[in-house]
A and B are shown apart, each in its own frame.
Chain A
Amino acid sequence: MTVEEILFYAMSTVLVAAAVAVITVRNPVHAALALVLAFFATAFHWVMLEAEFLGILLVLVYVGAVMVLFLFVVMMLDINIARMREGFARFLPVGLVVAVGMMGLMAMVVGAGVFRIPGPERAAADHSNTAALGHLLYTEYVYPFEIAAVILLVAIIAAIALTLRRRPGTLHLDPGRQARVRRNERVRMVKMHSEKQ
């Protein structure tokens, strides 16, 4: 086996183990951390596929931002595992049907001819995946790219608009007013003669 194959099988084992751990461990924080590990192993695979831009971006966006917020929420939850497990036997048949359906769907997609392509030629050492991706995005796929950008912008504006409701009675402080405070508005200097003994 070459070094690359050893790395590939090692990271694939980590990926599969982490993915199994996400759905089997009882503690939600452990599950979230296992998901982080799974993302990491996936990023490693992408880097091995010479898609280093996507690999690093996966770590940056999903591991560095999304999963941090995920952990943030999960840490605050007080999940009652016993209550979550009740009714497991009752819903098992429905769950099984859904699971088999999903499995079939995934088998159809992954097994289809689209993915049965020969591996791409190894790129030259000075090949920049980042530049190649940017070139494609801004030439061939410029309209889909810009439409996606506009949709994201709409989502951002919607999220900000949701927080803009005015609630009466909040203890809001105006930072500008705070910074403009002068001493003589707050402190009254009192001149007093010292008492004579």
Chain B
Amino acid sequence: MQAIVQYWEGLPVIMQISAKITLLLTPLLLAVAYTTFAERKIIGYIQIRIGPNRVGPRGFLQPIADALKLLTKEVIVPTNANRYLFLTAPVLAIAPSLAAWAVVPFDDGMAIADINAGLLYILALTSLGVYGIIVAGWASNSRYALLGSLRSAAQIISYEIAMGFALVGVIMAAGSLNLGEIVEAQRGSVYHWFLLPLLPLFLVYFISGVAETNRAPFDVAEGESEIVAGFHVEYSGMAFAVFFLAEYANMILISALTALLFLGGWLSPLEGLLPQAAFALPVIGWVLDGGIHWFLAKTAFFLFLFLWFRATFPRYRYDQIMRLGWKVLIPVTIVWLFLEGVAVAFGLGPWFA
């Protein structure tokens, strides 16, 4: 163990960073692949079907087969499309959704870059993902694609405001922009998590998150029954797959952030409920105590909600989406921020004491 630590410390900084990025991105991309599989299986069972079950045992190699199929397909660039931007758009979509993971802490201090303005960085990067969609829609030289990208741009701009306000509430409660410190501010017990005092903001954040990732019921940018497939209608093969990867990486990111900001990240829900001796037990104590497994479990739960929503809700009409964003979510956040400000001023315990 000592030798490994010493060897690690001896490596040049750039190699350390590259190793960390590889250790983060490989599981992330695998998770993305298996999220597509989980989506098809879960929605299958919700609709009383089995879902994919041909490739590998119980269909577990399906995402690998899908990836191989997409890799070998031809990338067709439409005539009169803006060739350069057409091929840049998928990169613009996936780069921010991967780069945002740099500041996500998986456990105490377990982040690639533990920066002060972490939350702000995430907000800035998630707002960049829309460029991939807009540029894809415009460069395709297709009416459906342009309609999809216009819808998406308007939707993302509208929901970003509600999302930002919800995050302001979290910052007010935690007193920090650093994600690790935000989690530490929720330490204590389940009742110390921001879920309870910021319940409306939590709902607003998650709903805006679903809307920002263009997922059902807010998937008007794709809207296959109205505009074929929206912004990526002209894409095929790997170029299409990259958009797909970006969407799922964003979904996992929003789930992880919801877990970090409102459900105490890696903190254990049993903390403060069980006696201290329980956490000292050999193996069970490690499971009960806070750690990366709790963070992953909470993230997986929100990821499941994304899939559940898709199987349950019909698509919103475009004007209803705009109404929900501007006339419902934003006023809710403003009212709750005001109440929270009062609570902070009077030191309402146990959260704002």
Contact = CB atoms under 8 A, between A and B. Distances in A.
B116 interface: yes
25 contacts: A29-B138, A52-B116, A52-B117, A53-B120, A56-B121, A59-B125, A59-B127, A60-B120, A60-B123, A63-B124, A63-B128, A64-B124, A65-B157, A65-B160, A68-B130, A68-B131, A68-B156, A71-B138, A71-B153, A75-B146, A76-B150, A130-B116, A130-B177, A175-B320, A175-B323
Interface in B28-42: none
A36 B138 contact: no
Contacts of A53: 117, 120
A21 interface: no
A29 B154 CA distance: 17
Contacts of A24: none
- The number of chain A residues touching the other chain, given as a range, is 20 to 34
A68 B146 CA distance: 14
B134 interface: yes
Contacts of A110: none
Interface string B92-131: 0000000000000000000000011100110111011011
Interface in A73-125: 75-76
A141 interface: no
Contacts of A131: 116
A79 to B, nearest CB: 14
Determine the main DSSP class of B at the interface with A.
helix
> Interface residues of B toward A: which range?
20 to 34
Interface of B: 85, 115-117, 120-121, 123-125, 127-128, 130-131, 134-135, 138, 146, 149-150, 153-154, 156-157, 160, 177, 319-320, 323
A72 B128 contact: no
A36 B96 CA distance: 14
Given A52-B117, A64-B124, A65-B127, 15 more contacts: A29-B138, A33-B135, A36-B131, A53-B120, A56-B117, A57-B124, A60-B123, A60-B124, A65-B160, A68-B130, A68-B156, A69-B157, A75-B149, A75-B150, A130-B117
Nearest to B130: A68
A13 interface: no
A170 to B, nearest CB: 12
B314 to A, nearest CB: 14
Interface centre among A59, A68, A128 (most CB of B within 10 A): A68
B117 A72 contact: no
Contacts of B117: 52-53, 56, 129-130
B128 A64 contact: yes
